[in-house]
Amino acid sequence: MERRIVVVSASAPAKVILLGEHFVVHGAPALVMAIDRRVSVAANLRSDKQIYIKSEAMELSGYFSTSGFQIGEGRSEALKELEPIHMVIRRILNLSKRDTGINVEIRSSVPIAVGLGSSASVSVATAAAVSRLLDVQVSKDEVFHIAYDAERLIHGSPSGVDPAISTYGGVLLYIKEKGITPLNIEVDVPLVIGNTGIARSTGEMVAKVHDLRRRYTSIVDPLIKSCGNLVEEAIKALGSGELGALGELMNINHAMLSAVGVSNESLDRLVYAARNAGALGAKLTGAGGGGCMIALVLPEKNREVAEAIEQAGGKAFLARKTDEGVRIEE
């Protein structure tokens, strides 16, 4: 009788930074929101003791074993790209005290390397899927910490916002000195996201703002303080459901980000196209220098704004707030 292969699937959401990127590095608060684009991970046991990881989005696969790493498909960077996922699987295997091989296959509706937190979503979903596969009881807090450790392999000293929002969902307030605070936001936040398709380096963008602040401290520091005030106003607007006010604050935040040099012509083109087509507000999201922008849009304007972004050279898709974090797909 043929043995039935048990496959366990889990998914976790991507994220956008609604307000506060870059200034958060210098102590200002940031608002981060989970969106209804998700990364899915399917896991099943192998008959040998190898760990096989395949990512359709990255077009990479490879085998980890006691003898090292072997590329299945893809480029020479496969080891670097897949190692954080391997680390998550190893952590769960150690907790299970089992010595078995595992297949992990990653599928994603989230564009990669554009500031939407796809790598953290993968780590979070992998931790959930493999722990269920191996009958290891882990809390969401434990999933977060495992994914956070994997993020450190990628980003060095990450804030923890990406794995947190992917684990718990909803909207989070992040302040560097205080950490993460979940917010109870009931209003829907409908977005059109525009992807410039331009690769960028988060580290380079962060360093650029650091250097500007060093040279013009008396000018940049008031912007940092103003960003804190802006985020406080945004929380009030979200609490009362005033999307028009939130849109205005997004516009102000984009101007502040442009002032410190992290926007560019491609992002500005998409931002202004969205506003001209009826968005309540629009701004870059994430590191800037490329990647994505977000537009706050009432449902009746979705199509017009998305078409305007496409005509301005971006790739547009709809997204909205999700309060659901990581989950097992039954």
Residue positions annotated with a catalytic role: 162
Which phi and psi angles does 126 have, rounded to 5°? -65, -45
Length of the chain: 330
Helices (H), the chain: 78-96, 118-133, 140-155, 161-168, 202-215, 217-240, 243-259, 265-276, 302-311
Angle, helices 140-155 vs 161-168, to 10°: value is: 150
Closest CA to 23 of 204, 215, 230, 200: 230
Helix (H, G, I), strand (E, B) or coil at 170: coil
Q: What is the C-alpha to C-alpha distance for residues 313 and 266, in angstroms, rounded to an integer?
A: 8
Q: What is the C-alpha to C-alpha distance for residues 278 and 294, in angstroms, rounded to an integer?
A: 13
Virtual CA dihedral for 317, 319, 324, 326, nearest 10 degrees? 30
* Structure token pair of residue 294: 């977000």
Which phi and psi angles does 119 have, rounded to 5°? -65, -40
